[in-house]
Structure 1
Amino acid sequence: MARLVLCEPIELYNILNQVTKLSRLTEPNYLCLLDVRSKKEYDESHVITALRVKKKADTYLIPESVDLECVEYCVVYDNTTSHLEATLKDDDDDDDDDDGKSADSREELVAGAAIECGRAMTHLTRHPIRILKGGYERFSAIYHFFRTQKIIWMPQELDEFQPYPVEIVPGKIYLGNFVQACNPKIQKDLKIKAHVNISMETGPFFLDDADKLLHIQIEDSLEANIVPFLRHICHFIGIHLQLDSVILVFSTLGISRSCAAILAYLMHQNEQSLKRSWAYVKKCKNNMRPNRGFVAQLLEWEKIVLGDFITDISDPLY
């Protein structure tokens, strides 16, 4: 039987933006995103690919197309649920306040719907059922560009879906690839103000403003030496965070050089091991794959940052 866990908005954002060769949203058993709000609210706007769950006689009717037993991620949201203790109380859906309930208690009524639905599904899967923290209101306020009125997604449309860079530090640091770094809509939607380009290619943004662009030209090869640049990368990111800028770190495919840079930054900033940093970035971007040469150099960086070797890179995780 599954358990309920809270899902932060950044977690759902990153789930929506995972890729293999194509967006993982093309995989039928990857994500089941369920909206338990009213039909009117759902029709006005919802999170992309979300299916509406109908309720009849106090029973939640899961869409017939969904086989929860096979689904890797199941995320349920209502309007505002923010904690797992919320419960659904009897309500006649009347806007009048005749029963003496305050506006706050009415919000709690709505918030409990996701939890009630999640509990009703726990026997259908072994995987945790994620309840979106803050519900649709919080998620759509942060990621307004993932709101839609579209109800049916054809396979071809999912094939053509263009994922955004994953989010490493909420609203501050993103990790992506060269194509994403060249996309004006992504730059605008994420409010990107600085680039760390770790590839041989030259991107189109910030070329005339050296303060907003750090371009480290190294190959993605076992012989490439990234260690001499790591302090500069960490300093550049730190300065822009102090300026309240949003930073995109990217490389050609976004899976090796840029991931190595992000790992180095997290190790430096949080004074933590490669292993711990690796686990965090892997959760944000499940196809990250720094080459073996970079991993060995990150171990050297760990000794510089922490004063000793902590991580065993012979572990199969690496």
Structure 2
Amino acid sequence: MAGLVLCEPTELYNILNQVTKLSRLTEPNYLCLLDVRSKREYDESHVITAHRVKKMANEYLIPASVDLECVKYCVVYDNNTRSLGIILKNEDDDNSDSSGKELVLGAAVECGRAIAHLTRNPILILKGGYECFSAMYHFFRTQKIIWMPQELDEFQPYPVEILPGRLYLGNFRQACDPKIQKDLKIKAHVNVSMETGPFFVDDADKLLHIWIEDSLEASIFPFLRHLCHFIDIHLELGSVILVFSTLGISRSCAAILAYLMHQNQQTLKRSWAYVKKCKDNMRPNRALVAQLSEWETIVLGDFVTDISDPLY
């Protein structure tokens, strides 16, 4: 049995927004999202690509199209389960004391336990359930039940979330999309590319543009203090920031790594592991990694991460 793990809403958000050449949602064995709420609630709205799980005679019926043994991520959600433990359920909502309550598992946990033997990887239970996730990411609500392969091919991922609701990492296309700016409430951009985006033009308070090529000759080190100061100021102001480069794989990832090292006073290796979890195809070029190693000496006073041992 693989077991159960609590999954933060931001983790599911990032799972939904992973890409290779296309969204990873196009991969049949990448994500299985299971909704254990009532049919009425599911029909009203659910998370994109979610299957509704029916229950008959106390048995959860997984859709026949799903092969859980091969799935990388299996995420189960109900309305609002917040833990993997037993919860108190009111038999009478008007009863305010502990009498008249029974101990039960949340529906997502109950379902997760029932199907855990079918998977190789842990079952992820969405913390806060649909209520929490849909409140944070309303733009991922849908009533659509069947997704055709072409529709998944055309799905446009959002920037990944580095600091929940505060700092995002994306690509140039996402930085030019007005819907994404609105949905994520983006108030500032850090552009680490040679392209010029349409937002915050000539507004130095809201746009930091670091003009560097995606090449081994590119030098990001001289900009790192200013970069960290810019992001710090906007976080203090409560602004939401998008850091991006052309593809969102190399230069912008290096910028995010440098900021996390600065913010948390932590090693390049630890920052790398965190960003890799948020964005699995991130890959700063080796010249940028060498400059991040130099930055580590500024942040921590010494070289700590061995970059001769490939980080990726």
TM-score (norm 1): 0.94
Answer yes or no: is the 8 Å Cα contact 1:80–1:107 preserved in 2: no
Answer yes or no: is the 8 Å Cα contact 1:87–1:115 preserved in 2: no
Specify which of 288, 293, 304 is matched with residue 287 of structure 2.
Answer: 293
After superposition, give the CA deviation of every residue in 1:230-265 in whole Å (9 maximum; x if it has no partner): 001000000101110000000000000000000000
Q: How does 1:50-61 map to 2 (within 5 A)?
A: 50-61=50-61
Once superposed, which parts of structure 1, at least 4 consecutive aligned residues long, lie more than 3 Å away? 98-109
Q: Counterpart in 2 of 1:75?
A: 75
Q: Counterpart in 1 of 2:7?
A: 7
Question: How has the CA–CA distance of structure 1 residues 70 and 209 changed in structure 2, closer, same or farther, with 3 Å as cutoff?
Answer: same
Question: How has the CA–CA distance of structure 1 residues 237 and 124 changed in structure 2, closer, same or farther, with 3 Å as cutoff?
Answer: same
Q: Counterpart in 1 of 2:20?
A: 20
Q: Counterpart in 2 of 1:160?
A: 154
Question: How has the CA–CA distance of structure 1 residues 71 and 311 changed in structure 2, closer, same or farther, with 3 Å as cutoff?
Answer: same
Distance 1:136 1:59 in 2: 22
Q: CA shift at 1:316, angstroms?
A: 3.3
Distance 2:125 2:100 in 1: 20
Q: CA shift at 1:314, angstroms?
A: 2.1
Structure 1 unaligned blocks of 5 or more: none
Q: Counterpart in 2 of 1:37?
A: 37
Which amino acid letter does the alignment assign opposite residue 92 of structure 2? D
Specify which of 213, 222, 225 is matched with residue 228 of structure 1.
Answer: 222
Distance 2:54 2:300 in 1: 53
| Pair 1:302-2:296 in alignment | yes
Q: How does 1:120-199 map to 2 (within 5 A)?
A: 120-199=114-193
Which amino acid letter does the alignment assign opposite residue 5 of structure 2? V
Q: CA shift at 1:86, angstroms?
A: 2.8
Question: How has the CA–CA distance of structure 1 residues 143 and 123 changed in structure 2, closer, same or farther, with 3 Å as cutoff?
Answer: same
After superposition, give the CA deviation of every residue in 1:107-138 in whole Å (9 maximum; x if it has no partner): 986x7100000000111112010000000000
After superposition, give the CA deviation of every residue in 1:193-231 in whole Å (9 maximum; x if it has no partner): 000000000000000322100001000111111100000
Q: How does 1:74-113 map to 2 (within 5 A)?
A: 74-86=74-86, 97=92, 112-113=106-107
Q: Counterpart in 1 of 2:65?
A: 65
TM-score (norm 2): 0.96
Indicate the SS of the match to 1:211.
coil
Percent identity over the alignment is 82
Q: Counterpart in 2 of 1:250?
A: 244
Q: CA shift at 1:87, angstroms?
A: 5.5
Q: Counterpart in 1 of 2:213?
A: 219
Distance 1:104 1:149 in 2: 39
Indicate the SS of the match to 1:210.
coil
Question: How has the CA–CA distance of structure 1 residues 297 and 176 changed in structure 2, closer, same or farther, with 3 Å as cutoff?
Answer: same
Indicate the SS of the match to 2:80.
coil
Question: How has the CA–CA distance of structure 1 residues 58 and 88 changed in structure 2, closer, same or farther, with 3 Å as cutoff?
Answer: farther
Answer yes or no: is the 8 Å Cα contact 2:92–2:100 preserved in 1: no
Which amino acid letter does the alignment assign opposite residue 53 of structure 2? V
Distance 2:114 2:300 in 1: 47
Distance 1:106 1:140 in 2: 28
Which amino acid letter does the alignment assign opposite residue 70 of structure 1? C
In the comparison of the two structures, how many residue pairs are matched?
312
Distance 1:107 1:148 in 2: 33
Distance 1:11 1:203 in 2: 28
Answer yes or no: is the 8 Å Cα contact 2:70–2:120 preserved in 1: no
Q: CA shift at 1:158, angstroms?
A: 0.2
